[in-house]
Amino acid sequence: MADFQGVDFLGLDELLADEERLARDTVRDWVSAEFLPLIQQHVRQDGSFPMELVPAIAELGLFGANLSGYGCAGMNNVAYGLVMQELERGDSGLRSFASVQGSLCMYPIYTYGSDEQKQQWLPEMSAGRAIGCFGLTEPDAGSHVGAMRTRARREGDIWHLSGTKRWITNGSIARLAIIWAVTDEGVRGFVVETDRPGFEARDIKGKFSLRGSVTSELFLEDVQVPESNRLPKAEGLRAPLSCLTQARYGIAWGAMGAAMACYDEALQYSKERIVQGGPLASKQLTQEKLVFMLTEITKAQLLALRLGRVKDEGKLTPVMVSMAKRNNVDIALQIARQARDLLGANGIVDDYQAMRHMMNLETVRTYEGTHDVHTLILGEHITGHRAL
């Protein structure tokens, strides 16, 4: 198939600055040349991420790309969004890897950490020498993180952490974990080095979705960390939720990358595939599907671009992000399913991308606030009635 050229029905490229286009095109080319040739084997194996690419991802400046200083690229939020789009055009696992490192691990240290914590971790993390994971979800606390049971108890200068975190991206390959735990003063965040006694990570096997990504369960049995490992400015659930807002922003862009990959593949395939004496693309039902895909991608692009500009102006609100994450992931999943359908039997094998994206997007629909949870967040915002 021909190389991916992007999808731009409304000429939105004209609304982008040169450096925004450059960031996008650089990552697009890298994903095509370096990542896509590897993903099939990692998905066929039981859940592995191509760790050999980490130095190159760091070299491209993609860890904490919208943060400044500490070796970070300092991109604006539109360039950052476009980067997330291109990474997820490769695979949701690749975008997840960068999102977790940047939005869920570097961002809390950057925003809530001490100067010492920032100096110690951020240069290492932007260079990809230290990989982080974000431990919020628990076996019995997913959508409702207020039900969290992981405890941190203070004795003098030492905190004792005990509990279980589940569904943690990069858990077993991380050098540090950002662990959220209940204390006598409420929820607090801790930087926990994963080689501390009492810390164990076990990978979750048998996933149909996000197979090119490591997902783990974390067990903390009286893990001891000094007070200097607590994020001093993180108080209450507001802190982890603010990290999720950052990550969800990237997902709103990223999901479009998966949708564009599926649309592009379906369009090219349907032009070449002959059914009943003519190209599949010449059939009315095919065209209806392709028109749906292009229209929804275009609407999602407008939503994401406006969100990025608003974020750069410092006016972004969590409910705006909820709308974009909810909508863009939903349409991406619908597009992936329709693309898979158009590919017929070929659509079920991994020589084509559609089914891999489709299965990945089931996770993307669930994590970082499920589709339903974002519906309820928006519903409460509109009506003033809390239904969560």
Ligand X SMILES: Cc1cc2nc3c(=O)[nH]c(=O)nc-3n(C[C@H](O)[C@H](O)[C@H](O)COP(=O)(O)OP(=O)(O)OC[C@H]3O[C@@H](n4cnc5c(N)ncnc54)[C@H](O)[C@@H]3O)c2cc1C
Q: Which residues are catalytic?
A: 368
Long-range contacts formed by 264-272: CB under 8 A, 24+ apart: 264/4, 264/5, 264/7, 265/1, 265/339, 265/343, 265/352, 265/353, 265/354, 266/290, 266/293, 266/338, 266/339, 266/342, 266/343, 266/354, 268/1, 268/2, 269/1, 269/342, 269/343, 269/346, 269/352, 270/342
> Quick count: other Cβ atoms within 10 Å of Cβ 274?
9
- Nearest distance, CB of residue 136 and ligand X, angstroms: 3
**Which residue in the set 35, 49, 80, 167 belongs to the binding site for ligand X (CB under 6 A)?**
167
Q: Which stretch binds ligand X (CB under 6 A): 62-70, 71-79, 341-349, 360-368?
A: 360-368
**Which residue in the set 72, 98, 100, 191 belongs to the binding site for ligand X (CB under 6 A)?**
100
DSSP tag of 155: E
Any contact of residue 168 with ligand X (CB under 6 A)? yes
Angstrom distance (rounded) from CA 120 to CA 69: 13
Nearest to 329 by CA among 364, 372, 283: 364
What are phi and psi for residue 134, nearest 5 degrees? -120, 110
How big is the CA angle at 191 (ends 188 and 194), to the nearest 5 degrees? 130
Any contact of residue 152 with ligand X (CB under 6 A)? no
Angstrom distance (rounded) from CA 315 to CA 370: 24
**Which residue in the set 151, 334, 366, 380 belongs to the binding site for ligand X (CB under 6 A)?**
366
- Nearest distance, CB of residue 188 and ligand X, angstroms: 16
Residue 89 vs 165, nearer CB to ligand X: 165
Angstrom distance (rounded) from CA 33 to CA 382: 45
- Nearest distance, CB of residue 152 and ligand X, angstroms: 16
**Which residue in the set 84, 210, 290, 316 belongs to the binding site for ligand X (CB under 6 A)?**
210
Q: Which stretch binds ligand X (CB under 6 A): 28-36, 50-58, 74-82, 131-139?
A: 131-139
**Maximal C-alpha separation, the chain:** 79
Any contact of residue 237 with ligand X (CB under 6 A)? no
Q: Which stretch binds ligand X (CB under 6 A): 23-31, 71-79, 132-140, 346-354?
A: 132-140
**Which residue in the set 26, 76, 114, 143 belongs to the binding site for ligand X (CB under 6 A)?**
143
- Nearest distance, CB of residue 112 and ligand X, angstroms: 16
Any contact of residue 361 with ligand X (CB under 6 A)? no
C-alpha pair distances (Å), 79 with each of 16, 64, 100, 255: 9, 12, 18, 15
Report the interhelical angle of 318-342 vs 371-383 (nearest 10°): 140
Any contact of residue 169 with ligand X (CB under 6 A)? yes
Any contact of residue 92 with ligand X (CB under 6 A)? no
Q: Which stretch binds ligand X (CB under 6 A): 81-89, 164-172, 223-231, 316-324?
A: 164-172
Q: What are 191's strand-pairing partners?
A: 178
Residue 40 vs 143, nearer CB to ligand X: 143
288 CB-near residues (< 8 Å, 6+ apart): none
Any contact of residue 370 with ligand X (CB under 6 A)? yes
**Which residue in the set 12, 53, 127, 373 belongs to the binding site for ligand X (CB under 6 A)?**
373
Residue nearest to ligand X (CB): 142
Q: Which stretch binds ligand X (CB under 6 A): 68-76, 284-292, 295-303, 359-367?
A: 359-367
- Nearest distance, CB of residue 85 and ligand X, angstroms: 20
| Number of residues lying near ligand X (CB under 6 A) | 21
- Nearest distance, CB of residue 115 and ligand X, angstroms: 26
Angstrom distance (rounded) from CA 231 to CA 114: 7
DSSP tag of 175: S
CB 64 within 8 A of CB 130: no
Any contact of residue 137 with ligand X (CB under 6 A)? yes
Question: How do beta strands 158-169 and 215-226 pair?
Answer: antiparallel
- Nearest distance, CB of residue 361 and ligand X, angstroms: 11
- Nearest distance, CB of residue 186 and ligand X, angstroms: 18
Report the interhelical angle of 77-90 vs 18-30 (nearest 10°): 20
Applying CB under 6 A, which residues contact ligand X?
A: 100, 134-137, 142-143, 167-169, 210, 215, 363, 366-368, 370, 372-373, 376, 388
